């Protein structure tokens, strides 16, 4: 009997200890959460990372620190997060090229986009309108195509393999045009050249294009996606104007991801907080300022979108015939 009692006491003690250990293991977050942003401070990706991060901090009771780690089209940020403990304390907020384009544009990657990361929430980054210089007289894709057939046209892109690059290449392919593409280091110099008449067209973010749109020097003639843009309700989509390339129906996005082995319950909680954060006044004001029509998506929708549209992005980039750098 004494032996049984002793064994029972030991079992109970072990159960209590195991329960305590389990509770301790599940405690999270126990310190500041770091969000590594793959783009410079001040842009749309950085702004949303900080806004959503602040909401997460308020709800979880720990600081959220944003660290901008640029370089190699997001590859440096990705590698640093991949090599971090998968405990939910280190996350990455990045653009689509980090998970998609880099596979084809960089010779070697120190990370596997599919195996090393899991998506927390996608945040649409808004329509990227095609804007033409007023001197072209174009008010639609049809007008612009007619102009490009009669004149030498140069269009701006904010980066090799970007949507802007793909869009012009698709227009060339579909309509048999020979529009030259100039790649800029970011949007600011591209829009400056459009305003000066150095280039006749450009594709980029609504906010960055505002100076040329507001002055009338530039005119938006088409937007990607299947629905029109709230800020440009009179501008038809590419699809409405008969441009059939699948890339013009895709969703441009930024996204919050975590190391793949991060506990699922932490991923789900973060995803839930992202959706909640998208309803806050701060995020809503950013959406208005950047001309973005939708906040963070729930996790199921985010994963579904990535799995559906990712292959189309990859195929579109592959069709550019670029040599990996």
Is position 103 within any domain?
yes
With 0-12 / 13-18 / 19 or more C-beta atoms within 10 angstroms meaning exposed / middle / buried, residue 76 is middle
Q: How far apart are CA 207 and CA 4, in angstroms?
A: 75
Q: What is residue 43's predicted lDDT score, i.e. its pLDDT?
A: 85
Q: Domain range for residue 61?
A: 31-125+253-318
Last residue of a domain, one of 197, 218, 249: 249
Is position 314 within any domain?
yes
Greatest Cα pair distance in the chain: 102
Same domain, 257 and 108: yes
Number of domains composing the chain = 2
The domain that holds 208 is classified in CATH as 3.40.190.10
Quick one: tokens of 208? 């960055």
Is position 14 within any domain?
no
- Average of pLDDT values for 119-144? 97
Q: How far apart are CA 144 and CA 140, in angstroms?
A: 6
230 with 293: CB under 8 angstroms?
yes
Same domain, 264 and 290: yes
Q: pLDDT-derived band of residue 42, with 50, 70 and 90 as boundaries?
A: confident
Please enumerate in sequence order all residues whose Cβ is within 8 A of that of 320, keeping only pairs 6 or more positions apart, or say none: 161, 165, 166, 169
Same domain, 84 and 164: no
Is position 13 within any domain?
no
Q: What is residue 151's predicted lDDT score, i.e. its pLDDT?
A: 98
Rounded alpha-carbon distances, angstroms, from residue 97 to 78, 144, 148, 255, 280? 11, 28, 29, 11, 28
Same domain, 115 and 187: no
Quickly count: other Cβ atoms within 10 Å of residue 100's Cβ: 21
Q: How far apart are CA 142 and CA 17, in angstroms?
A: 73
Quick one: tokens of 218? 């530039």
- Average of pLDDT values for 19-47? 80
Task: Give pLDDT tens digits for 59-96.
Answer: 999 999 999 999 888 999 999 999 999 999 999 999 99
Quick one: tokens of 317? 């980039």
Rounded to two decimals, the pTM is 0.86
- Average of pLDDT values for 127-154? 98
């Amino acid at each position: 009997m004494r032996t049984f009692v002793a064994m029972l006491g030991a079992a109970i003690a072990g159960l209590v200890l195991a329960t305590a250990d389990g509770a301790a293991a599940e405690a999270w977050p126990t310190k500041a959460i770091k969000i590594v942003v793959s783009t410079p401070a001040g842009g749309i990706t950085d702004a949303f990372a900080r806004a959503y991060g602040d909401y997460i901090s308020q709800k979880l009771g720990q600081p959220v620190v944003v660290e901008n780690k640029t370089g190699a089209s997001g590859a440096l940020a990705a590698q640093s997060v991949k090599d971090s403990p998968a405990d939910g304390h280190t996350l990455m907020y990045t653009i689509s090229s980090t998970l998609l384009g880099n596979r084809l544009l960089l010779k070697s990657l120190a990370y596997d986009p599919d195996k090393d990361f899991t998506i927390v929430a996608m945040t649409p980054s808004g329509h990227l309108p095609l804007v033409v210089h007023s001197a072209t007289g174009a008010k639609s894709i049809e007008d612009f195509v007619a102009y490009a057939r009669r004149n030498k046209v140069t269009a701006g892109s904010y980066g090799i393999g970007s949507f802007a690059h793909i869009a012009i290449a698709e227009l060339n392919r579909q309509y048999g045009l020979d529009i030259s593409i100039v790649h800029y280091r970011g949007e600011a110099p591209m829009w400056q050249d459009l305003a000066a008449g150095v280039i006749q067209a450009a594709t980029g973010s609504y906010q960055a294009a505002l100076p040329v749109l507001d002055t009338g020097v530039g005119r938006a003639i088409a937007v990607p996606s299947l629905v029109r843009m709230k800020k440009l309700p009179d501008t038809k989509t590419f699809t409405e104007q008969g441009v059939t390339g699948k890339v013009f129906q895709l969703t441009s996005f930024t996204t919050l991801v975590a190391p793949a082995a991060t506990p699922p319950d932490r991923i789900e909680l973060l995803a839930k907080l992202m959706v909640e954060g998208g309803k806050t006044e701060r995020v809503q004001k950013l959406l208005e300022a950047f001309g973005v029509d939708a906040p963070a998506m729930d996790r199921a929708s985010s994963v579904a979108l990535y799995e559906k549209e990712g292959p189309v992005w990859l195929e579109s980039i592959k069709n550019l015939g670029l040599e990996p750098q």
